Amino acid sequence: MLQGVDLCEALGAGVVTTLVEGDPRAVSAVHLWGDRQPPGAGSLIAAIGATDEPVQMEIIDVAASAGAAAVVLPQPVPPDVCTHSAARGVTLAGLNPQMEWSHFIWFARGLLLEGQSAVAGAASAQQGLFALAEVVATILNSSVTIEDARSRVIAYSATTQTADIARTSTIMGRAVPTDVLKRLRASGVLKRLAREGRPFLVPAEEPGFAQRLVIPLRVGGQLVGSIWAIFDGRLDPDLVARLSAASTAVALHLVRFCAELELTGRYTAGQLRAALTGTASDAGQDVPLLSEPVRVVALQRLSMADAREDLALWRTFLRKKSWEDPVLVDIGDVVYAVVGQRAGPGGWPWLCGIVGSASPGAVGASRLSPGHAGLPAARVEADETLAAALHLDLRSATHEQVWDTIVLSRATTAVQSVAHSELQRVRDFDRTDGTELTITLRTWLENWGDVNATAAALNVHPNTVRLRMKKADRILQGRLDTPTQRIAALLLLRGWQR
Protein backbone atom coordinates (compact mmCIF):
# COMPACT_ATOMS: atom_id res chain seq x y z
CA MET A 1 0.00 0.00 0.00
CA LEU A 2 1.01 3.61 -0.62
CA GLN A 3 2.33 5.26 2.56
CA GLY A 4 1.73 8.94 3.29
CA VAL A 5 5.43 9.81 3.43
CA ASP A 6 6.06 7.90 0.18
CA LEU A 7 3.44 9.94 -1.65
CA CYS A 8 4.89 13.25 -0.41
CA GLU A 9 8.47 12.24 -1.17
CA ALA A 10 7.52 11.04 -4.65
CA LEU A 11 5.96 14.38 -5.60
CA GLY A 12 9.14 16.25 -4.67
CA ALA A 13 9.95 19.73 -3.39
CA GLY A 14 8.31 21.41 -6.36
CA VAL A 15 4.97 20.26 -5.00
CA VAL A 16 5.36 19.46 -1.29
CA THR A 17 8.21 19.22 1.21
CA THR A 18 8.14 16.53 3.87
CA LEU A 19 8.63 18.24 7.24
CA VAL A 20 7.92 15.39 9.67
CA GLU A 21 8.02 11.64 9.02
CA GLY A 22 5.46 10.21 11.39
CA ASP A 23 4.09 6.73 11.96
CA PRO A 24 3.81 4.78 8.68
CA ARG A 25 0.19 4.61 7.55
CA ALA A 26 -1.26 3.68 4.17
CA VAL A 27 -3.21 6.39 2.31
CA SER A 28 -6.84 5.45 1.79
CA ALA A 29 -8.38 8.75 0.59
CA VAL A 30 -7.78 12.48 0.11
CA HIS A 31 -9.71 14.53 2.67
CA LEU A 32 -10.27 18.27 2.25
CA TRP A 33 -10.18 20.07 5.60
CA GLY A 34 -13.54 21.66 6.28
CA ASP A 35 -15.67 18.87 4.81
CA ARG A 36 -18.70 17.86 6.85
CA GLN A 37 -17.49 14.30 7.13
CA PRO A 38 -14.50 13.92 9.50
CA PRO A 39 -11.30 12.38 8.13
CA GLY A 40 -11.06 8.63 8.39
CA ALA A 41 -8.17 6.29 9.03
CA GLY A 42 -5.52 6.64 6.33
CA SER A 43 -6.76 10.03 5.13
CA LEU A 44 -4.39 12.45 3.45
CA ILE A 45 -5.65 15.74 4.89
CA ALA A 46 -5.29 18.71 2.54
CA ALA A 47 -5.58 21.67 4.93
CA ILE A 48 -6.62 24.33 2.43
CA GLY A 49 -6.61 27.82 3.96
CA ALA A 50 -5.28 26.65 7.34
CA THR A 51 -2.74 29.42 7.89
CA ASP A 52 -3.30 30.10 11.63
CA GLU A 53 -1.13 28.17 14.04
CA PRO A 54 -3.98 27.22 16.44
CA VAL A 55 -5.97 25.79 13.52
CA GLN A 56 -2.93 23.85 12.32
CA MET A 57 -2.44 22.42 15.82
CA GLU A 58 -6.09 21.34 15.83
CA ILE A 59 -5.68 19.62 12.46
CA ILE A 60 -2.66 17.68 13.77
CA ASP A 61 -4.69 16.51 16.79
CA VAL A 62 -7.62 15.45 14.61
CA ALA A 63 -5.26 13.60 12.27
CA ALA A 64 -3.61 11.77 15.17
CA SER A 65 -6.97 10.74 16.64
CA ALA A 66 -8.29 9.56 13.27
CA GLY A 67 -5.12 7.69 12.30
CA ALA A 68 -4.61 9.87 9.22
CA ALA A 69 -1.74 9.00 6.87
CA ALA A 70 -0.46 12.56 6.46
CA VAL A 71 -1.34 16.25 6.74
CA VAL A 72 -0.41 18.85 4.11
CA LEU A 73 -0.35 22.47 5.31
CA PRO A 74 0.37 25.66 3.38
CA GLN A 75 3.93 26.89 3.84
CA PRO A 76 5.54 28.33 5.85
CA VAL A 77 4.74 25.97 8.71
CA PRO A 78 5.70 27.20 12.23
CA PRO A 79 8.37 25.11 14.04
CA ASP A 80 5.99 24.50 16.96
CA VAL A 81 3.52 22.83 14.61
CA CYS A 82 6.28 20.52 13.32
CA THR A 83 7.29 19.66 16.88
CA HIS A 84 3.69 18.92 17.81
CA SER A 85 3.24 16.77 14.69
CA ALA A 86 6.35 14.74 15.53
CA ALA A 87 5.11 14.24 19.10
CA ARG A 88 1.75 12.94 17.83
CA GLY A 89 3.37 10.67 15.21
CA VAL A 90 1.69 12.44 12.28
CA THR A 91 3.45 12.75 8.92
CA LEU A 92 3.48 16.44 7.99
CA ALA A 93 4.25 18.11 4.66
CA GLY A 94 4.20 21.72 3.49
CA LEU A 95 2.72 22.76 0.14
CA ASN A 96 5.08 24.76 -2.08
CA PRO A 97 3.87 28.40 -2.03
CA GLN A 98 3.86 28.44 -5.86
CA MET A 99 1.76 25.29 -6.13
CA GLU A 100 -2.01 25.39 -6.56
CA TRP A 101 -4.07 23.30 -4.14
CA SER A 102 -6.14 22.02 -7.07
CA HIS A 103 -3.00 20.70 -8.76
CA PHE A 104 -1.82 19.01 -5.58
CA ILE A 105 -5.19 17.31 -5.07
CA TRP A 106 -5.15 16.13 -8.70
CA PHE A 107 -1.67 14.67 -8.15
CA ALA A 108 -2.60 12.98 -4.87
CA ARG A 109 -5.86 11.46 -6.10
CA GLY A 110 -4.22 10.27 -9.31
CA LEU A 111 -1.34 8.62 -7.47
CA LEU A 112 -3.71 7.07 -4.95
CA LEU A 113 -5.87 5.62 -7.73
CA GLU A 114 -2.85 4.15 -9.51
CA GLY A 115 -1.32 3.01 -6.23
CA GLN A 116 -4.34 0.81 -5.57
CA SER A 117 -3.45 -1.17 -8.71
CA ALA A 118 0.04 -2.26 -7.56
CA VAL A 119 1.63 1.12 -8.34
CA ALA A 120 1.44 0.55 -12.08
CA GLY A 121 0.42 4.04 -13.20
CA ALA A 122 3.66 5.25 -14.76
CA ALA A 123 2.72 3.69 -18.10
CA SER A 124 -0.67 5.40 -18.24
CA ALA A 125 0.86 8.75 -17.24
CA GLN A 126 3.42 8.36 -20.01
CA GLN A 127 0.65 7.69 -22.53
CA GLY A 128 -0.86 11.03 -21.54
CA LEU A 129 2.50 12.71 -22.21
CA PHE A 130 2.65 11.16 -25.68
CA ALA A 131 -0.79 12.62 -26.38
CA LEU A 132 0.33 16.05 -25.15
CA ALA A 133 3.45 15.82 -27.35
CA GLU A 134 1.12 15.49 -30.33
CA VAL A 135 -0.83 18.55 -29.16
CA VAL A 136 2.33 20.68 -28.98
CA ALA A 137 3.53 19.27 -32.32
CA THR A 138 0.23 20.35 -33.89
CA ILE A 139 0.55 23.88 -32.47
CA LEU A 140 4.07 24.22 -33.88
CA ASN A 141 3.63 22.00 -36.92
CA SER A 142 6.92 20.39 -36.00
CA SER A 143 8.59 17.43 -34.32
CA VAL A 144 8.55 17.50 -30.50
CA THR A 145 10.25 15.64 -27.67
CA ILE A 146 9.42 15.90 -23.95
CA GLU A 147 12.36 15.37 -21.60
CA ASP A 148 12.70 15.20 -17.83
CA ALA A 149 15.16 17.26 -15.78
CA ARG A 150 17.92 14.70 -16.47
CA SER A 151 17.55 15.01 -20.27
CA ARG A 152 15.88 11.61 -20.61
CA VAL A 153 13.24 11.35 -23.33
CA ILE A 154 9.83 10.64 -21.78
CA ALA A 155 7.58 11.17 -24.81
CA TYR A 156 7.74 12.40 -28.41
CA SER A 157 5.46 13.21 -31.31
CA ALA A 158 4.98 10.91 -34.26
CA THR A 159 5.87 13.68 -36.71
CA THR A 160 9.02 12.80 -38.64
CA GLN A 161 9.15 15.16 -41.62
CA THR A 162 11.34 17.66 -39.76
CA ALA A 163 13.56 15.16 -37.96
CA ASP A 164 17.33 15.66 -37.90
CA ILE A 165 20.20 13.44 -36.73
CA ALA A 166 20.08 14.79 -33.16
CA ARG A 167 16.34 14.06 -32.82
CA THR A 168 16.67 10.56 -34.25
CA SER A 169 19.61 9.73 -31.94
CA THR A 170 17.76 11.16 -28.94
CA ILE A 171 14.64 9.09 -29.52
CA MET A 172 16.56 5.90 -30.34
CA GLY A 173 18.71 6.23 -27.23
CA ARG A 174 15.85 7.50 -25.01
CA ALA A 175 18.20 10.29 -23.89
CA VAL A 176 20.03 13.26 -25.35
CA PRO A 177 23.35 11.98 -26.80
CA THR A 178 26.42 12.84 -24.74
CA ASP A 179 28.07 14.85 -27.52
CA VAL A 180 24.92 16.96 -27.97
CA LEU A 181 24.71 17.58 -24.21
CA LYS A 182 28.35 18.71 -24.18
CA ARG A 183 27.68 21.23 -26.96
CA LEU A 184 24.55 22.53 -25.25
CA ARG A 185 26.40 22.86 -21.95
CA ALA A 186 29.36 24.63 -23.58
CA SER A 187 27.09 27.11 -25.39
CA GLY A 188 25.20 27.97 -22.18
CA VAL A 189 21.87 26.52 -23.31
CA LEU A 190 21.48 24.22 -20.29
CA LYS A 191 22.34 27.06 -17.90
CA ARG A 192 19.70 29.22 -19.57
CA LEU A 193 17.17 26.38 -19.37
CA ALA A 194 17.80 26.12 -15.61
CA ARG A 195 16.81 29.75 -15.01
CA GLU A 196 14.33 30.60 -17.82
CA GLY A 197 10.57 30.39 -17.49
CA ARG A 198 9.61 31.34 -21.05
CA PRO A 199 10.24 29.64 -24.42
CA PHE A 200 13.49 30.52 -26.18
CA LEU A 201 15.28 29.63 -29.42
CA VAL A 202 18.54 27.68 -29.78
CA PRO A 203 20.28 28.39 -33.10
CA ALA A 204 21.34 25.59 -35.43
CA GLU A 205 24.90 24.50 -34.74
CA GLU A 206 25.62 22.08 -37.58
CA PRO A 207 23.73 20.13 -40.29
CA GLY A 208 22.78 17.45 -37.75
CA PHE A 209 21.27 19.90 -35.25
CA ALA A 210 18.56 22.21 -36.62
CA GLN A 211 17.27 25.29 -34.78
CA ARG A 212 15.28 24.35 -31.69
CA LEU A 213 12.50 25.95 -29.69
CA VAL A 214 12.98 25.10 -26.00
CA ILE A 215 10.06 25.34 -23.57
CA PRO A 216 11.05 25.04 -19.89
CA LEU A 217 8.61 23.05 -17.75
CA ARG A 218 8.27 24.29 -14.19
CA VAL A 219 6.06 23.29 -11.29
CA GLY A 220 6.21 25.25 -8.05
CA GLY A 221 9.22 27.14 -9.37
CA GLN A 222 11.17 23.90 -9.87
CA LEU A 223 12.43 22.85 -13.30
CA VAL A 224 10.89 19.43 -13.93
CA GLY A 225 11.72 19.05 -17.61
CA SER A 226 11.53 20.67 -21.02
CA ILE A 227 9.95 20.49 -24.46
CA TRP A 228 12.24 20.57 -27.49
CA ALA A 229 10.90 21.24 -30.98
CA ILE A 230 12.60 21.65 -34.35
CA PHE A 231 11.32 25.14 -35.20
CA ASP A 232 12.24 27.72 -37.83
CA GLY A 233 9.28 30.09 -37.28
CA ARG A 234 8.74 33.24 -35.24
CA LEU A 235 7.64 33.49 -31.60
CA ASP A 236 4.64 35.83 -31.58
CA PRO A 237 2.53 36.62 -28.47
CA ASP A 238 -0.38 34.39 -29.59
CA LEU A 239 1.92 31.40 -30.07
CA VAL A 240 3.60 32.01 -26.70
CA ALA A 241 0.19 32.10 -24.99
CA ARG A 242 -0.89 28.81 -26.59
CA LEU A 243 2.42 27.18 -25.71
CA SER A 244 2.15 28.44 -22.13
CA ALA A 245 -1.23 26.72 -21.66
CA ALA A 246 0.02 23.50 -23.23
CA SER A 247 3.29 23.48 -21.29
CA THR A 248 1.42 23.84 -17.98
CA ALA A 249 -0.50 20.66 -18.75
CA VAL A 250 2.69 18.90 -19.85
CA ALA A 251 4.52 19.97 -16.67
CA LEU A 252 1.75 18.65 -14.42
CA HIS A 253 1.59 15.34 -16.27
CA LEU A 254 5.38 15.07 -16.17
CA VAL A 255 5.45 15.56 -12.39
CA ARG A 256 2.78 12.90 -12.01
CA PHE A 257 4.71 10.54 -14.28
CA CYS A 258 7.95 11.05 -12.32
CA ALA A 259 6.09 10.60 -9.02
CA GLU A 260 4.53 7.36 -10.20
CA LEU A 261 7.92 6.20 -11.44
CA GLU A 262 9.38 7.00 -8.01
CA LEU A 263 6.59 5.07 -6.29
CA THR A 264 7.13 2.14 -8.63
CA GLY A 265 10.80 2.18 -7.61
CA ARG A 266 9.84 2.22 -3.93
CA TYR A 267 7.42 -0.65 -4.53
CA THR A 268 10.16 -2.60 -6.33
CA ALA A 269 12.61 -1.89 -3.51
CA GLY A 270 10.06 -3.24 -1.01
CA GLN A 271 9.60 -6.40 -3.06
CA LEU A 272 13.35 -6.80 -3.45
CA ARG A 273 13.93 -6.33 0.29
CA ALA A 274 11.31 -8.99 1.02
CA ALA A 275 12.93 -11.33 -1.51
CA LEU A 276 16.43 -10.89 -0.08
CA THR A 277 15.31 -11.33 3.51
CA GLY A 278 12.89 -14.16 2.79
CA THR A 279 10.01 -12.40 4.56
CA ALA A 280 7.35 -13.08 1.92
CA SER A 281 6.63 -16.36 0.15
CA ASP A 282 5.92 -14.64 -3.19
CA ALA A 283 8.60 -11.98 -2.81
CA GLY A 284 10.68 -11.21 -5.84
CA GLN A 285 8.14 -12.21 -8.49
CA ASP A 286 7.69 -8.57 -9.56
CA VAL A 287 11.35 -7.59 -9.25
CA PRO A 288 13.16 -6.74 -12.51
CA LEU A 289 15.86 -9.20 -13.69
CA LEU A 290 14.42 -12.19 -11.82
CA SER A 291 13.30 -13.76 -15.09
CA GLU A 292 16.99 -14.72 -15.49
CA PRO A 293 19.64 -16.07 -13.10
CA VAL A 294 21.04 -13.23 -11.02
CA ARG A 295 23.82 -12.43 -8.59
CA VAL A 296 23.28 -10.54 -5.36
CA VAL A 297 26.09 -8.02 -4.92
CA ALA A 298 27.08 -6.49 -1.57
CA LEU A 299 28.45 -2.96 -1.94
CA GLN A 300 31.10 -1.59 0.40
CA ARG A 301 30.10 0.91 3.09
CA LEU A 302 31.08 4.45 2.08
CA SER A 303 30.03 6.61 5.01
CA MET A 304 29.54 6.46 8.75
CA ALA A 305 25.92 7.58 8.35
CA ASP A 306 22.97 5.26 7.70
CA ALA A 307 22.75 3.00 4.67
CA ARG A 308 20.39 5.38 2.85
CA GLU A 309 23.29 7.77 2.29
CA ASP A 310 25.37 4.93 0.88
CA LEU A 311 22.42 3.96 -1.30
CA ALA A 312 22.28 7.47 -2.79
CA LEU A 313 26.05 7.53 -3.40
CA TRP A 314 26.08 4.16 -5.13
CA ARG A 315 22.98 5.01 -7.20
CA THR A 316 24.61 8.24 -8.41
CA PHE A 317 27.83 6.43 -9.35
CA LEU A 318 26.03 3.65 -11.24
CA ARG A 319 23.79 6.09 -13.11
CA LYS A 320 26.82 8.09 -14.21
CA LYS A 321 28.21 4.83 -15.58
CA SER A 322 25.05 4.34 -17.73
CA TRP A 323 22.93 2.06 -15.52
CA GLU A 324 19.83 4.22 -15.75
CA ASP A 325 17.74 2.54 -13.05
CA PRO A 326 20.00 0.51 -10.75
CA VAL A 327 18.28 -2.32 -8.86
CA LEU A 328 19.46 -1.39 -5.36
CA VAL A 329 18.13 -1.81 -1.84
CA ASP A 330 19.44 -1.20 1.66
CA ILE A 331 19.04 -3.87 4.33
CA GLY A 332 20.43 -3.03 7.75
CA ASP A 333 23.76 -1.30 7.21
CA VAL A 334 24.47 -2.79 3.79
CA VAL A 335 23.46 -1.77 0.26
CA TYR A 336 22.83 -4.59 -2.23
CA ALA A 337 22.50 -4.68 -6.00
CA VAL A 338 20.91 -7.40 -8.08
CA VAL A 339 22.59 -7.97 -11.45
CA GLY A 340 22.21 -10.37 -14.34
CA GLN A 341 24.85 -11.91 -16.55
CA ARG A 342 24.46 -9.61 -19.56
CA ALA A 343 27.45 -7.64 -20.81
CA GLY A 344 25.79 -4.20 -20.68
CA PRO A 345 24.71 -1.95 -17.79
CA GLY A 346 23.07 -3.96 -15.02
CA GLY A 347 25.17 -7.08 -15.69
CA TRP A 348 27.96 -8.52 -13.55
CA PRO A 349 30.61 -8.40 -16.34
CA TRP A 350 29.81 -4.70 -16.84
CA LEU A 351 29.92 -3.99 -13.08
CA CYS A 352 33.32 -5.68 -12.78
CA GLY A 353 34.58 -3.51 -15.61
CA ILE A 354 33.64 -0.20 -13.96
CA VAL A 355 34.70 -1.10 -10.42
CA GLY A 356 38.24 0.20 -10.63
CA SER A 357 40.14 3.10 -9.18
CA ALA A 358 37.21 5.46 -9.90
CA SER A 359 34.71 3.31 -8.00
CA PRO A 360 33.63 4.50 -4.56
CA GLY A 361 34.20 1.05 -3.04
CA ALA A 362 34.60 -2.69 -3.47
CA VAL A 363 31.85 -5.18 -4.41
CA GLY A 364 31.29 -8.86 -3.67
CA ALA A 365 28.90 -11.07 -5.63
CA SER A 366 27.15 -14.32 -4.76
CA ARG A 367 26.92 -17.32 -7.02
CA LEU A 368 24.18 -17.22 -9.65
CA SER A 369 20.72 -17.67 -8.15
CA PRO A 370 18.19 -19.17 -10.58
CA GLY A 371 15.09 -17.83 -8.80
CA HIS A 372 13.79 -15.70 -5.95
CA ALA A 373 13.71 -18.63 -3.52
CA GLY A 374 17.50 -18.66 -3.36
CA LEU A 375 17.96 -14.93 -2.82
CA PRO A 376 18.25 -14.96 1.02
CA ALA A 377 21.14 -17.44 0.82
CA ALA A 378 22.67 -15.41 -2.03
CA ARG A 379 22.63 -12.30 0.18
CA VAL A 380 24.64 -14.13 2.85
CA GLU A 381 27.11 -15.25 0.17
CA ALA A 382 27.41 -11.66 -1.06
CA ASP A 383 28.25 -10.44 2.46
CA GLU A 384 30.93 -13.10 2.86
CA THR A 385 32.34 -12.45 -0.61
CA LEU A 386 32.67 -8.72 0.05
CA ALA A 387 34.43 -9.40 3.36
CA ALA A 388 36.82 -11.78 1.56
CA ALA A 389 37.45 -9.24 -1.22
CA LEU A 390 38.33 -6.55 1.32
CA HIS A 391 40.62 -9.00 3.18
CA LEU A 392 42.42 -9.84 -0.08
CA ASP A 393 42.49 -6.18 -1.19
CA LEU A 394 40.34 -6.86 -4.27
CA ARG A 395 37.99 -4.33 -5.85
CA SER A 396 35.56 -7.01 -7.04
CA ALA A 397 35.12 -10.72 -6.49
CA THR A 398 32.60 -13.50 -6.95
CA HIS A 399 31.90 -16.29 -4.49
CA GLU A 400 33.54 -18.74 -6.90
CA GLN A 401 36.79 -16.74 -6.86
CA VAL A 402 37.18 -16.45 -3.07
CA TRP A 403 35.38 -19.56 -1.82
CA ASP A 404 38.51 -20.81 -0.04
CA THR A 405 38.85 -17.58 1.93
CA ILE A 406 35.17 -17.80 2.85
CA VAL A 407 35.49 -21.42 4.02
CA LEU A 408 38.51 -20.57 6.17
CA SER A 409 36.74 -17.51 7.55
CA ARG A 410 33.75 -19.59 8.62
CA ALA A 411 35.97 -22.26 10.14
CA THR A 412 38.19 -19.85 12.06
CA THR A 413 35.14 -18.07 13.43
CA ALA A 414 33.81 -21.39 14.72
CA VAL A 415 37.05 -22.34 16.55
CA GLN A 416 37.88 -19.00 18.19
CA SER A 417 36.80 -20.29 21.62
CA VAL A 418 38.77 -23.58 21.39
CA ALA A 419 41.78 -23.77 23.76
CA HIS A 420 45.17 -25.40 23.06
CA SER A 421 47.82 -25.23 25.78
CA GLU A 422 50.94 -25.75 23.62
CA LEU A 423 49.90 -23.19 20.96
CA GLN A 424 49.03 -20.77 23.74
CA ARG A 425 52.54 -21.22 25.18
CA VAL A 426 54.00 -20.22 21.78
CA ARG A 427 51.96 -17.01 21.89
CA ASP A 428 53.00 -16.37 25.48
CA PHE A 429 56.67 -16.87 24.53
CA ASP A 430 56.29 -14.18 21.83
CA ARG A 431 54.84 -11.72 24.35
CA THR A 432 57.54 -12.28 26.97
CA ASP A 433 60.61 -12.63 24.70
CA GLY A 434 59.60 -10.36 21.81
CA THR A 435 59.89 -13.16 19.23
CA GLU A 436 57.72 -13.83 16.15
CA LEU A 437 57.17 -17.57 16.48
CA THR A 438 53.37 -17.48 16.14
CA ILE A 439 53.26 -15.63 12.81
CA THR A 440 56.12 -17.79 11.51
CA LEU A 441 54.33 -21.00 12.52
CA ARG A 442 51.08 -19.84 10.93
CA THR A 443 52.80 -18.83 7.68
CA TRP A 444 54.73 -22.12 7.62
CA LEU A 445 51.46 -24.06 7.99
CA GLU A 446 49.81 -21.97 5.26
CA ASN A 447 52.69 -22.82 2.91
CA TRP A 448 52.55 -26.56 3.68
CA GLY A 449 55.91 -26.56 5.46
CA ASP A 450 57.82 -24.96 2.57
CA VAL A 451 60.63 -23.01 4.28
CA ASN A 452 61.56 -20.94 1.23
CA ALA A 453 57.95 -19.91 0.54
CA THR A 454 57.52 -19.03 4.23
CA ALA A 455 60.68 -16.92 4.20
CA ALA A 456 59.51 -15.07 1.08
CA ALA A 457 56.10 -14.37 2.65
CA LEU A 458 57.72 -13.03 5.84
CA ASN A 459 60.53 -11.25 3.96
CA VAL A 460 63.24 -12.97 6.02
CA HIS A 461 66.10 -15.43 5.29
CA PRO A 462 65.19 -19.16 5.17
CA ASN A 463 67.64 -19.83 8.00
CA THR A 464 65.66 -17.41 10.18
CA VAL A 465 62.55 -19.49 9.50
CA ARG A 466 64.39 -22.72 10.40
CA LEU A 467 65.65 -21.22 13.66
CA ARG A 468 62.21 -19.97 14.66
CA MET A 469 60.58 -23.30 13.82
CA LYS A 470 63.09 -25.18 16.01
CA LYS A 471 62.15 -22.95 18.95
CA ALA A 472 58.44 -23.45 18.26
CA ASP A 473 58.89 -27.21 17.97
CA ARG A 474 60.61 -27.35 21.38
CA ILE A 475 57.61 -25.57 22.92
CA LEU A 476 55.05 -27.71 21.05
CA GLN A 477 56.90 -30.94 21.89
CA GLY A 478 56.06 -32.56 18.55
CA ARG A 479 52.31 -31.95 18.79
CA LEU A 480 52.03 -31.01 15.05
CA ASP A 481 53.25 -34.24 13.51
CA THR A 482 50.06 -35.34 11.67
CA PRO A 483 48.27 -33.56 8.76
CA THR A 484 45.04 -33.19 10.78
CA GLN A 485 46.90 -31.62 13.69
CA ARG A 486 48.51 -29.10 11.35
CA ILE A 487 45.17 -28.18 9.75
CA ALA A 488 43.56 -27.79 13.17
CA ALA A 489 46.48 -25.66 14.40
CA LEU A 490 46.24 -23.39 11.37
CA LEU A 491 42.52 -22.84 11.97
CA LEU A 492 43.14 -22.06 15.63
CA LEU A 493 45.90 -19.57 14.84
CA ARG A 494 43.68 -17.85 12.26
CA GLY A 495 40.76 -17.76 14.67
CA TRP A 496 42.85 -16.32 17.52
CA GLN A 497 44.23 -13.62 15.25
CA ARG A 498 40.68 -12.45 14.49
d(CA 331, CA 296): 13
d(CA 165, CA 151): 17
- Label each residue of the chain as H, E or C: CCEHHHHHHHHCCCCEEEEECCCCCECCEEEECCCCCCCCCCEEEECCCCCCHHHHHHHHHHHHHHCCCEEEEECCCCHHHHHHHHHHCCCEEEECCCCCHHHHHHHHHHHHHHHCCCCCCHHHHHHHHHHHHHHHHHHHCCCEEEEECCCEEEEECCCCCCCCHHHHHHHHHCECCHHHHHHHHHCCHHHHHHHCCCCEEECCCECCECCEEEEEEEECCEEEEEEEEECCCCCCHHHHHHHHHHHHHHHHHHHHHHHHHHHHHHHHHHHHHHHHHCCCCCCCCCCCCCCCCEEEEEECCCCCCCHHHHHHHHHHHHHHCCCCCCCEEEECCEEEEEEECCCCCCEHHHHHHHCCCCCCCCEEECCCECCHHHHHHHHHHHHHHHHHHHHCCCCEEECCCCHHHHHHHHHHHHCCCCCCHHHHHHHHHHHHHCCCHHHHHHHHHHCCCCHHHHHHHHCCCHHHHHHHHHHHHHHHCCCCCCHHHHHHHHHHHHHHHC
Contact present, 147 and 129 (Cβ < 8 Å): no
Residue 158: count of CB within 10 angstroms of its CB? 10
Q: What's residue 119's pLDDT?
A: 44
d(CA 61, CA 69): 13
Task: Give me the helix-helix angle, 122-140 and 237-277, nearest 10°.
Answer: 160
User: b/e for 381-395, b at 16 or more Cβ within 10 A?
Assistant: bbbbbbbbbeeeebe
Say which residues have a Cβ less than 8 Å from residue 226's Cβ, sequence separation at least 6: 146, 147, 193, 214, 215, 216, 217
Residues forming beta bridges with residue 18, ordered by sequence position: 93
CA dihedral 335, 295, 362, 302 (to 10 degrees): -10
Per-residue pLDDT of the chain (498 residues; tens, 9 = 90+): 678 888 888 787 778 889 998 998 888 889 998 888 889 999 999 999 889 999 999 999 999 999 999 999 999 999 999 999 999 999 999 998 888 888 888 888 877 765 544 444 455 667 778 888 888 888 888 888 999 888 888 888 876 566 778 878 877 777 788 888 888 888 899 999 988 888 998 888 777 788 889 999 988 778 889 999 988 888 888 888 888 888 888 888 888 787 776 666 665 677 788 888 887 655 445 555 556 788 999 999 887 667 778 888 888 888 878 787 788 888 888 999 999 888 888 899 999 888 876 778 899 999 998 777 888 999 999 999 999 999 899 999 999 999 988 988 888 787 777 777 788 888 888 888 888 888 999 899 889 889 999 999 999 999 999 999 898 888 888 777 788 888 888 888 887 776
Per the document, the length of the chain is 498
